[in-house]
Amino acid sequence: MKKYYIGLSITYHDPALAIIDQSGQVVFAEATERYMQNKRALNCPADPLLYMKELLTQYCADADEIVIAINWKRKRPLYENIISALGCLKASGLTKVGIKKLRSPLKNYQLHHMIASQRNNIASAGLNLVRIITEHYPNCIVSHADFDHHLTHAATASYSSPYTEAACAVIDSFGEKGSMAFYHFKNQKLTCLYESKGTGSLGFYYMKITELCGFDWLKGEEWKVMGLASYGKLNLKLYELLKSTISVQGFKCEHDSKKLFISIEALQEFNRKENQSIEHAADLAYTGQYFFTELMTELLQHLQKVTASKNLALGGGCALNSAFNGMIKQRTNFEQVFIPSAPADDGTALGAAWLALHNDKPALSLNTEKQILSPYLGSKISNDAVARLIKYNRSLDIQHLPNSICSETAKLLAEGELVAWVQDRAEYGPRALGNRSILADPRQAEIKDNINQKIKFRENFRPFAPSVLHQYAADYFEGYHQSPYMDKTLKIRESMQHKIPAVCHVDGTGRLQTVKQEWNPRFYNLIDSFYQLTHVPILLNTSFNVMGKPLVHSLDDAIAVFLSTGLDALVVNDYLIRKPEHAKV
């Protein structure tokens, strides 16, 4: 009997699907936004109807039984049920008057919209998947499981880590009861130490900072706050206001009911107006990040004291804050920090699948080799697709270079060309890690502006990441520790900053990706080939997309971005693709 576990992240933002086999091996994991080419796939199903047959055929066609596991409990909290009964979760009731204002930096209608969207997704979870299984695999047995949201985050962080024992923190915007949960992971078991209740939320706090800076947290623009913060300085008046909105004590995160709304009103004077430049918000971004760092430090240091563990597994949306992640070891007593490649809600699809398996086989050991999980778990672009392009192409110069693709691409990069690099399976998580990347020479400072203006079409203050060969990383980064998923920002040594200006942010930092041969042989070989030419073991790496779109999914997506931007070359598997002006005579 072949049994598979399909995990669905059915959160209203960043839905995803993951498939594991009965031994716990991950056979597929990817955010739904990739297939849909719809950034964050807001209010979209995790199992797009027209995609399910393809995925089942490719990854579990021999299934005798499938367990569909979701990342939210179907039984909803009392408050949700009450406001639903009052009609507040319908479109007509979203702005209903007479409802007590929730103790949160966000407005009631924003919170109720999120809750309504979430309830809708829970109600329809797995609907498309079950139809396709029934239609094409009528003899396959289907069963269902649902799990506490924060527990699925914790499972993803802990089971994909290299640890046998660790403290685990999940910190995001909200779950079933609150915004945080803390666990001790040992002997394959997760023991809950504390689960928060109420609206106190570091996730909501950061969403409000994003809003005040003039960005849109629905679009996931918290990234912009982190990038902009490096241009600002501490504003003491703002800092005191922020401190009056939220506090941390032990594991508790709370809003002061007496001060919150007065402080939120006072914060509006710092709100970036439409006619102001983005840079006007730099001090707000810096101060918001500064206070966020203090709050996170207090929580994690308390967790360390409670567990006495030297290992930390960190999950939840707040784990995407790479600027803070790089400080955890120096600000707490944790000696090792692991953050999964998909710490936010897309990653919980995998956690749900693992928990369902663990329910069936509690004695089964996951990740027995204690290696970090490969992030390359998504879809591929086949050579057949490239063959069709070659057959019907009328203008592109396409070369097949099976024995020299890395060395030839390295030459182009060393000559200053901007190259899109597509290889093998797509990354699971929000960051391009060398399989769906745009790459460039980090030695040329002007390349940063070229990419922002000609390819990404985004703000110039946003930085780019250095992908660095592990054995040379300590030469370039202070206090170096591995960052396999581009999850930590570290200080670039002052003596090295002039060598790699395109990946050195204004504050002298870089959100690095550690690259090892055993993790990604082809990407390693490409960077090593560049190193042989330039004596610099680093490439500028950013996601292969334009602002507002997800990473490319199909060859059609890749060609569209290639032809509509300032990219010089596109590499897909062993094929080097150039535009007509580069074609050889």
Helix, strand, or coil (residue 264): helix
Query: What is the share, in percent, of the chain residues with pLDDT greater than 90?
Result: 91
Parse the chain into domains and list their residue ranges: 3-149+344-360, 202-338, 383-582
Alpha-carbon dihedral angle through residues 242, 246, 247, 253, given to the nearest 10 degrees: -150
Cβ pair 513, 485 in contact under 8 A = yes
In whole angstroms, how far apart are CA 443 and each of 466, 498, 535? 11, 8, 11
CB 46 within 8 A of CB 386: no
Q: What is the pLDDT of residues 18-76, one digit of tens each?
A: 999 999 999 999 999 999 999 999 999 999 999 999 999 999 999 999 999 999 999 99
Tokens linked to 245: 């909105």
Q: Cα torsion for 321, 326, 331, 336, to the nearest 10°?
A: 110
Q: How far apart are CA 562 and CA 583, in angstroms?
A: 15
Strand-pairing partners, residue 415, are none
Neighbours of 231 (CB within 10 A): 17
Q: What is the mean pLDDT of the chain?
A: 95
Residue 351, C-beta contacts closer than 8 angstroms, at least 6 positions apart:
7, 71, 147, 151, 152, 153, 154, 155, 156, 157, 159
CA pair distance 429, 435, nearest whole angstrom? 12
Contact 171, 179 (CB under 8 A): yes
Q: For residue 583, is pLDDT > 60? A: no
Topology (CATH) of 383-582: DHBP synthase (3.90.870)
Calpha distance 20→145 (Å, rounded): 14
Helices (H), 480-585: 521-534, 555-563
Cα 35 from chain centre: 16
> For residue 522, what pLDDT band results from cuts at 50, 70 and 90?
very high
Establish whether domains 202-338 and 383-582 are of one fold: no
Structure confidence at residue 471 (pLDDT): 98
> Residue 279's pLDDT band (boundaries 50, 70, 90)?
confident
Rg (CA), the chain: 24
Strand arrangement of the beta sheet that strand 436-440 belongs to: 397-400, 575-578, 569-572, 419-422, 436-440, 538-543, 465-469, 509-515, 488-491
Strands 509-515 and 465-469: parallel
The per-residue pLDDT for range 108-148, each reduced to its tens digit, is: 999 999 999 999 999 999 999 999 999 999 999 999 999 99
Q: What is residue 127's predicted lDDT score, i.e. its pLDDT?
A: 98
Q: 202-338 domain in CATH 3.30.420.40? A: yes
CB 373 within 8 A of CB 429: no
Are the CB atoms for 286 and 280 separated by under 8 Å?
A: no
pLDDT at 452 over 80: yes
**Fold classification of 3-149+344-360 (topology level):** Nucleotidyltransferase; domain 5 (3.30.420)
pLDDT digits (tens, 9 = 90+) for 547-556: 999 999 999 9
Q: Is 482 exposed, middle or buried (0-12, 13-18, 19+ CB in 10 A)?
A: middle
| Candidate from 25-34, 272-281, 369-378 with smallest mean pLDDT | 272-281
Handedness of CA 538, 539, 540, 543 (dihedral sign): negative
DSSP 287-321: HHHHHHHHHHHHHHHHHHHHH--SEEEEESGGGG-
Q: Which pair of structure tokens corresponds to residue 426?
A: 């797509």
